[in-house]
């Protein structure tokens, strides 16, 4: 289930016990190290944590990206090497964390959520991204889902685009968060398109399928909101300088990310309001159509029931029914029936049922 992960297997274990909670991932972790300053750039893919050690005490900025965190040992070794608190390691491995920021003095631990739009089942998929920001390093942990929004950052570092190579680790940290938040807009556009398509459907020919699409959209919105809302506080905290590792110059940029988050929340709320409104409209349309159906039934019944009754009267077998003997009886009755039918229809016309 997307809303409650299997946390139960951890219940009762002592704090700091490292257990991976999340979808099973095959394959090993992929560790990429990028080390840079304004003049110098080095990138390599390593197999063992020991290779990271050499960068630890260099003055250059080091970015260690761990993709696929399924194997507990790697996280454990990195933790030992960089002196991370056991609770941090535990949280990195528990992929059902809420976005949050925790300041541990020497380093700041940030949990955020990368979101992908799955085109097959039209559901939003989530990947937990943990960031450790130190004085001269950033360690990022990904769950290892397909696609990687950090590629653009790597490219920018390689080509020294923008100011990123001239700035410190806190700017790299900002750039990673910015890449994550920027990606949310893509999700919003997809949802926006679905809302628009749905609105057209609703006006033209609402069906039971429309109803389920409304329901699904609502659920995706709940899901999206749950991932984005707490990130607002996280980035707000970073921007207000709750972490001593963020420099003044970077805060302006974080304010920009904060604005984006607010904009994302705003749009989610707007879409939610619209989808809620659609449900009301759908329900009203269903009632309206029921009304239309009932009117047809009532008109038919009201016109034909009296007529059938009259025909029934003259179908009776009484011996003495004078009308039956008249030579004009039949046409007179037919005309009388026509008159009844027409006046009924006029009555309905007057009541605006036709």
Under the binding rule (CB under 8 A), the answer on residue 308 touching a second copy is yes
CB 139 within 8 A of CB 145: no
Q: From the list 45, 53, 297, 346, which residue makes contact with a second copy (rule: CB under 8 A)?
A: 297
Under the binding rule (CB under 8 A), the answer on residue 87 touching a second copy is yes
**What is the largest distance, in Å, between two alpha-carbon atoms of the chain?**
121
Q: Which of 41-49, 57-65, 124-132, 218-226 is the region at the interface with a second copy (rule: CB under 8 A)?
A: 218-226
Under the binding rule (CB under 8 A), the answer on residue 65 touching a second copy is no
The CA distance from 89 to 78, in Å, is 9
Cβ closest to a second copy, residue 144 vs residue 206:
206
Q: How far is the CB of 47 from a second copy (least distance, A)?
A: 29
Q: Which of 50-58, 71-79, 125-133, 203-211 is the region at the interface with a second copy (rule: CB under 8 A)?
A: 203-211
Q: Is 99 helix (H, G, I), strand (E, B) or coil?
A: coil
Instruction: Return the H-helix or E-strand segment holding 92.
Output: helix 86-93
Under the binding rule (CB under 8 A), the answer on residue 287 touching a second copy is yes
Residue numbers 226-285 binding a second copy by CB under 8 A: 226, 252-253, 255-256, 259, 262-263, 266-267, 270-271, 273-274, 277, 279-285
Q: From the list 286, 335, 342, 346, which residue makes contact with a second copy (rule: CB under 8 A)?
A: 286
Cβ closest to a second copy, residue 24 vs residue 59:
24
Q: Nearest 10 degrees: CA dihedral of 8, 10, 14, 19?
A: -170
- Residue count at the site for a second copy (CB under 8 A)? 119
The CA distance from 221 to 111, in Å, is 21
Under the binding rule (CB under 8 A), the answer on residue 342 touching a second copy is no
Residue 210: how many CB atoms within 10 A of its CB? 18
Q: How far is the CB of 123 from a second copy (least distance, A)?
A: 13
Under the binding rule (CB under 8 A), the answer on residue 291 touching a second copy is yes
The CA distance from 192 to 208, in Å, is 21
Cβ closest to a second copy, residue 51 vs residue 102:
102
The CA distance from 48 to 50, in Å, is 5
Distances in Å between the Cα of 282 and the Cα atoms of 139, 198, 200, 267 are 49, 11, 12, 22
Under the binding rule (CB under 8 A), the answer on residue 195 touching a second copy is yes
Under the binding rule (CB under 8 A), the answer on residue 102 touching a second copy is yes
Under the binding rule (CB under 8 A), the answer on residue 20 touching a second copy is no
Under the binding rule (CB under 8 A), the answer on residue 346 touching a second copy is no
Q: Tell me the sheet residues that pair with 124.
A: 117
Burial 125-158 (b: 16+ CB within 10 A, else e): bbbbbbbbbbebbbbbbbbbbeebbbeebeebbe
Q: How far is the CB of 49 from a second copy (least distance, A)?
A: 24
The CA distance from 258 to 130, in Å, is 18
User: Which residues have a Cβ under 8 Å from the Cβ of 89 and sit 6 or more positions away?
Assistant: 16, 18, 75, 76, 79
Under the binding rule (CB under 8 A), the answer on residue 188 touching a second copy is yes
Under the binding rule (CB under 8 A), the answer on residue 352 touching a second copy is yes
Under the binding rule (CB under 8 A), the answer on residue 36 touching a second copy is no
Q: From the list 27, 189, 338, 354, which residue makes contact with a second copy (rule: CB under 8 A)?
A: 189
Q: How far is the CB of 250 from a second copy (least distance, A)?
A: 10
Q: From the list 215, 240, 242, 349, which residue makes contact with a second copy (rule: CB under 8 A)?
A: 215
Q: Nearest 10 degrees: CA dihedral of 170, 172, 177, 181?
A: 130
Under the binding rule (CB under 8 A), the answer on residue 41 touching a second copy is no
Under the binding rule (CB under 8 A), the answer on residue 193 touching a second copy is yes
Under the binding rule (CB under 8 A), the answer on residue 26 touching a second copy is no
């Amino acid at each position: 289930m997307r809303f409650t992960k299997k946390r139960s297997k951890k219940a009762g274990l002592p704090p700091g016990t490292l257990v991976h909670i999340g979808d099973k991932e095959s394959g090993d972790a992929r560790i990429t190290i990028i080390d840079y300053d304004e003049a110098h750039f080095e990138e390599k893919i390593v197999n063992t944590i020991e290779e990271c050690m050499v960068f630890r005490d260099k003055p250059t900025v080091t970015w260690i990206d761990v993709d696929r965190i399924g194997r507990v040992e790697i996280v454990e070794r990195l933790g030992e090497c960089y002196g991370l608190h056991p609770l941090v390691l535990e949280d990195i491995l528990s992929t059902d964390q809420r976005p949050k920021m925790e300041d541990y003095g020497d380093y700041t631990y940030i949990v955020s959520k990368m979101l992908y739009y799955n085109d097959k089942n039209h559901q939003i998929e989530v990947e937990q991204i943990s960031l450790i920001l130190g004085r001269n390093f950033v360690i990022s942990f990904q769950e290892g889902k397909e696609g990687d929004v950090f590629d653009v950052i790597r490219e920018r570092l390689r080509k020294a685009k923008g100011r990123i190579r001239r700035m410190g680790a806190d700017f790299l940290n900002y750039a990673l968060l910015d890449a994550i938040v920027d990606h949310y807009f893509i999700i919003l556009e997809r949802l926006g398109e679905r809302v628009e398509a749905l609105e057209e459907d609703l006006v033209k020919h609402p069906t039971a399928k429309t109803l389920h699409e409304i329901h699904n959209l609502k659920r995706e919105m709940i899901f999206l909101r749950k991932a984005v809302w707490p990130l607002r506080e996280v980035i707000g905290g970073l921007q207000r300088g709750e972490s001593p590792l963020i420099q003044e110059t970077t805060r302006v940029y974080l304010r920009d990310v904060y604005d984006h988050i607010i904009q994302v929340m705003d749009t989610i709320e707007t879409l939610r309001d619209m989808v809620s409104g659609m449900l009301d409209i759908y329900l009203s349309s269903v009632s309206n159509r029921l009304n239309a159906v009932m009117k047809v039934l009532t008109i038919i019944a009201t016109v034909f029931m009296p007529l059938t009754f009259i025909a029934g009267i003259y179908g009776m077998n009484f011996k003495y029914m004078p009308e039956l003997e008249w030579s004009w009886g039949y046409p007179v009755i037919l005309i009388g029936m026509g008159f009844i039918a027409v006046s009924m229809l006029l009555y309905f016309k007057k009541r605006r049922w036709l």
